[in-house]
Amino acid sequence: MKILVPVKRVVDFNVKIRVKPDGSGVDLQNVKMSMNPFDEIAVEEALRLKEAGKAEEVVVVSIGPAKAEETLRTALAMGADRAILVETDDAVEPLAIAKILKGIVEAESPGLVILGKQAIDDDSNQTGQMLAALLGWGQGTFASKVELADGQVAVTREIDGGLQTVSVRLPAVITTDLRLNEPRYASLPNIMKAKKKPLEKTTPADFGVAIAARLRILKTEEPVRRIAGVKVGSVAELVDKLKTEAGVL
Amino acid sequence: MAILLLADHDHAGLSGQTAKTLTAALQIGGDVHILVAGPNARPAAEAAARLAGVAKVLLTDSGTFEHVLAEPLADLIVSLAPGYDTILAAATSTGKNVMPRVAALLDVAQVSDIIEVLAPDIFKRPIYAGNAIQTVQTTDAIRVITVRTAAFAATAGGAAVPIEPVAAVAERGLASFVDETASISDRPELASARVIISGGRALGSLEKFNEVILPVADKLGAAVGASRAAVDAGYAPNDWQVGQTGKIVAPQLYIAVGISGAIQHLAGMKDSKVIVAINKDVDAPIFQIADYGLVADLFEALPELEKAL
Ligand SMILES: Cc1cc2nc3c(=O)[nH]c(=O)nc-3n(C[C@H](O)[C@H](O)[C@H](O)COP(=O)(O)OP(=O)(O)OC[C@H]3O[C@@H](n4cnc5c(N)ncnc54)[C@H](O)[C@@H]3O)c2cc1C
Ligand SMILES: Nc1ncnc2c1ncn2[C@@H]1O[C@H](COP(=O)(O)O)[C@@H](O)[C@H]1O
C-alpha cells in the first residue's frame, strides 16, 4: 500500500506573527517557516506504518510556493520516499487544496491519505474532511491511534467528550491529533540523502483545478489586546480581590 | 431564505453549544431550523424546540445517527441543503468533523470558527492562534459555517415550536463505530463552565494533578482544564486541553496554574473575563495577560487557596 501525506509550509509555531498596520494581512517577511506540526505527525505515522511492513511507499505532497520544496525535503529527510510539489504563489483555500489532492490521489492510488487536522496558520481544520468527501471515502479525523487491519483502519479519535474509535473502510482519509506520535528528527546523513530523493513539480492547472478564492478577505486586524493586571502578594489577597474587586467568587 | 443549524446533543439532551450557535444564526437572519439526528433524540429535539427564535425542529430518529458519524450525517445535511442558504454548526468535535464534508459535497467554502457576524455574508474569524482576526465575505450560494461558541451568548428559552420528521439517507457503510471512552465527570463541562481551573506541566504527575487541582475545582464548582504539556504527559485526559488546537473557553474566571502561557494556550482562554495566573516564574508570559498574578509555588499556594475558599 502507498500512503500519501500532504504537508503545508507554515509560519513556525514559535513565531509571534505581526499584523500589517494597513490591515492587508500578516507580515511574512523574514519569518521562520516550518512544516505544519500536525503534518510532521502525519509523516511520522506514515513512516511507522511503512516500518511495520504495512505500507510500501510514503509520498509527500505540498501545494505552495517554490520554497515549499524545503518542507518536502524535510519530509524526505524524515524518511518519505518521494515528493510532489504543486507550485503556486497564490493563497489556496482548503476546498481547492482538497481538489488538487483528489487529482493526486487519482493519479497515485494510495490506500491511505494522512493529513494534519489543522494548519496552524489559517486554523481551518477542513482539508482532510473535504478530501474524504470529494473522494467518497470514509474519514478518521483527530486521530490519536491508528491501527491498520484487513481492508480497514481503526482510528481512535480525540473528541470533545473523550475518545472514540471508528473503523473506516480502506482507502481512507486520516487527520492527525497531537497525541498520535512524537515525530522524529531528521539525522544529518538523512538530510543529505534527502537532497537526492525524487521531487516532481506540477501546477494546480495540471489537475484542472481553479484555485480562485471563494472567500474575500476584507481585512486582517490585531485582536483586542489584554493588558497585564496586578500581582498579588498572597493567596488571601487573591481571594479578597476576586471577591470584592472582580466579583467572580 | 432559511438557515439550517445542526444541533449538538447526546440524544437525551441538547448541549449548551446549540443555544449559542443559535445566537449567531439569528444574527445572520432568516428562519432557523434546528436539525436533530439520532435515535432516541426526541428529548434533545424538544429542548431545541423551546429555544427562542427557532422556527422549527427537524428530527430523524434513524439508528444510522446513533454515533454521529460524519459520513451519513453529511449526506443527510446535503439532502436537506436545497432549502437553505446558510448551514451552520458549533465548532465542536462533531461540527468540525461533519461541516467541511458538507461544504465539499456542496462545492462551497467553509468559514471556520466565526466569532462575529457583521452581515449575513461577512464574518470575523481568528487565524494564527487568534493573533490576527480576519474579516471574510463569502461568495458562494450556500454558506457553510462553524461557530466558535465561546464568542456568543446563549439564546434564552421560548415557546415550543413544531418538530417535524425528516427522511433518513442511505447508509454507505464507509465507517462504523467501534467504541467510546467518555470521560464521565460530575464537574461542569469546559465549554459552559463559569469557572475553570487549569493545570500545566508543573503539576508533574497525574497523582499530583488530582491531589492539588481537583479539590480547588470542587470548592469552586469549576471545570478542569489542562495545557497540552499536561495532557501529553498523561496528567489529564485529552478532552481537557485548552488552546488553539484544544477547547476554546471564555469563562467568568480562569485560573491557570503552572502554565507558562504559550501562544497556543492563550488562544484558548484569553477571552475569559477574569484571568488568574499562579506561577513561580515572575517572567512567565501568562502574567502578561493575567488580571491577577500570584508568584508562588503552586504546591503551597493551591492547598492554601482550597482552605481560603
Ligand atoms: C501544533 C501545536 C499545537 C498546540 N496546541 C496547544 C493547545 O491547544 N493548548 C496548549 O496548552 N498548548 C498547545 N501547544 C503547546 C504549547 O506550545 C506549549 O508547549 C504548552 O502550552 C506548554 O504547556 P505548559 O505551560 O503546561 O508547560 P511549560 O511551558 O513547561 O510551563 C510550565 C510552567 O510551570 C511553571 N512552574 C514550574 N514549577 C512550578 C511550581 N512548583 N509552581 C508554580 N509554577 C511552576 C514554570 O515556571 C512554567 O512557566 C501546541 C503546540 C503546537 C506545536
Ligand atoms: N497547501 C497545502 N499543501 C499540502 N497540504 C496541505 C495544504 N494545506 C492544507 N494541507 C493539509 O491539510 C491539513 C489541514 O489544513 P487546514 O484544513 O487548512 O487546516 C494540513 O495539516 C495539511 O496536511
Cβ contact, residue pair A238, B247, below 8 Å = no
pLDDT at A55: 97
491519505: which residue's cell?
A113
Please tell me whether residues B151 and B205 are part of one structural domain: no
The answer to whether residue B150 is domain-embedded is yes
Which of B131, B275, B293 has the CB atom closest to A223's CB atom? B131
Can you tell me the distance from the alpha carbon of A83 to that of A152, in angstroms, rounded to the nearest whole number? Answer: 26
What confidence tens digit (pLDDT) does each residue in B133-163 have?
999 999 999 999 999 999 999 999 999 999 9
Which parts of chain A are beta strand (E)?
Answer: 2-6, 9-11, 33-35, 57-64, 82-87, 112-116, 138-149, 152-159, 162-169, 172-176, 199-202, 215-221, 230-232
Same domain for B159 and B215? no
Cβ–Cβ gap B110/A94 under 8 Å:
yes
Residues B136 and B209 in one domain: no
- In angstroms, the separation between the Cα of residue A203 and the nearest Cα of chain B is 21
| Interchain contact, A11 vs B231, CB within 8 Å | no
Per the CB < 8 A criterion, the answer to whether B270 and B294 are in contact is: no
pLDDT category, B179, cuts 50, 70, 90?
A: very high
Q: How far is the CA of B222 from the centre of ligand 1 (A)?
A: 21
Which pLDDT band holds residue A27 (cuts at 50, 70, 90)? very high
Q: In this structure, are B202 and B302 located in the same domain?
A: yes
Q: What are phi and psi of A115, to 5 degrees?
A: -115, 170
Q: CB A133 to CB B287 under 8 A?
A: no
B209 and B82 in a single domain? The answer is no
List of residues 6+ apart from A237 with CB closer than 8 A: none
Provide the CATH number for the domain around residue B7. Answer: 3.40.50.620
Question: Quick one: DSSP state of residue B115?
Answer: -
Q: Per the domain annotation, does B222 fall within a domain?
A: yes
Say whether both B93 and B208 belong to one domain.
no
Is B134 a domain residue? yes
B72 belongs to a structural domain: yes
In the prediction, which pLDDT does B269 show? 98
Identify which of A77, A162, A208 has the alpha carbon closest to the alpha carbon of residue B190.
A162
Domain residue limits, chain A: 2-246
> Listing from the earlier edge strand, what are the strands of the sheet with B122-127?
A215-221, B132-138, B122-127, B116-119
Q: Output the pTM of the full model.
A: 0.97
Per CB-CB distance under 8 Å, the chain A contacts of B139 are 214-216
In a domain, B178, yes or no: no
**Whether B22 and B146 share a structural domain:** yes
Residue-averaged pLDDT of chain A: 97
Q: How far is B128 from chain A (nearest CA, A)?
A: 5
Report chain B residues whose CB lies below 8 A from the CB of A161: 10, 180, 182-183, 239
| pLDDT for the residue numbered B168 | 86
pLDDT at B183 > cutoff 80 = no
- In one letter, which amino acid is B180? E
User: Does residue B179 fall inside a structural domain?
Assistant: no
Closest CA to A184 of A60, A67, A61, A80: A80
Count up the domains in chain B and report the number: 2
Chain A nearest-CA residue for B132: A222
pLDDT of residue B13: 93
Note whether B195 contacts A248, CB cutoff 8 Å. yes
A with B: how many residue pairs have Cβ under 8 Å apart? 255
| Mean pLDDT across chain B | 97
Q: Are B141 and B44 in contact (CB under 8 A)?
A: no
Whether B156 maps to a domain, the answer reads yes
**pLDDT tens digits, B58-84:** 999 999 999 999 999 999 999 999 999
Q: Which residues line ligand 1 (CB under 6 A)?
A: A 13, 37, 120; B 200-202, 227-230, 241-246, 258-260, 262, 264-265, 268, 279-281, 284, 297-299
- Domain carrying residue B238: 190-308
CB B135 within 8 A of CB B46: no
- The CATH superfamily holding the domain A2-246 is HUPs (3.40.50.620)
Mean pLDDT of the A32-45 span = 98
B215 and B269 part of one domain: yes
Contact A248 B252 (CB under 8 A): yes
Same domain, B28 and B149: yes
Could you report the per-residue pLDDT of A108-152, keeping only the tens digit for each?
999 999 999 999 999 999 999 999 999 999 999 999 999 999 999
Confidence of residue A94 (pLDDT cuts 50, 70, 90): very high
Query: What nine digits make up the cell of A230?
Result: 496586578
Q: Which domain CATH number covers B287?
A: 3.40.50.1220
Residue B182 has pLDDT above 90, yes or no: no
Q: What is the ipTM of this complex?
A: 0.97
| Same-domain status, B153 and B24 | yes
Closest Cβ opposite residue B96 in set A13, A125, A179:
A125
- Non-local CB neighbours of B39 within 8 Å, separated by 6+ positions: B11, B61, B62, B63, B65, B66
User: 3-state DSSP helix/strand/coil percent for chain B, to nearest 5?
Assistant: 35, 30, 35
The answer to whether the beta carbons of residues A28 and A52 sit under 8 Å apart is no
Please indicate, yes or no, whether residues B101 and B196 belong to a single structural domain of this protein: no
DSSP result, B137-160: EE-SSSEEEEE-GGGSPPP-B---
Q: Are residues B140 and B58 in the same domain?
A: yes
B160 belongs to a structural domain: yes
Tell me, what's the pLDDT at B1? 78
Q: Which position has the grid cell 459555517? A: B145
The per-residue pLDDT for B186 is 86
Task: Give the number of other Cβ atoms within 10 Å of residue B180's Cβ.
Answer: 15
Q: How close B159 gets to chain A, by Cα (Å)?
A: 30
3-state secondary structure of A175: strand
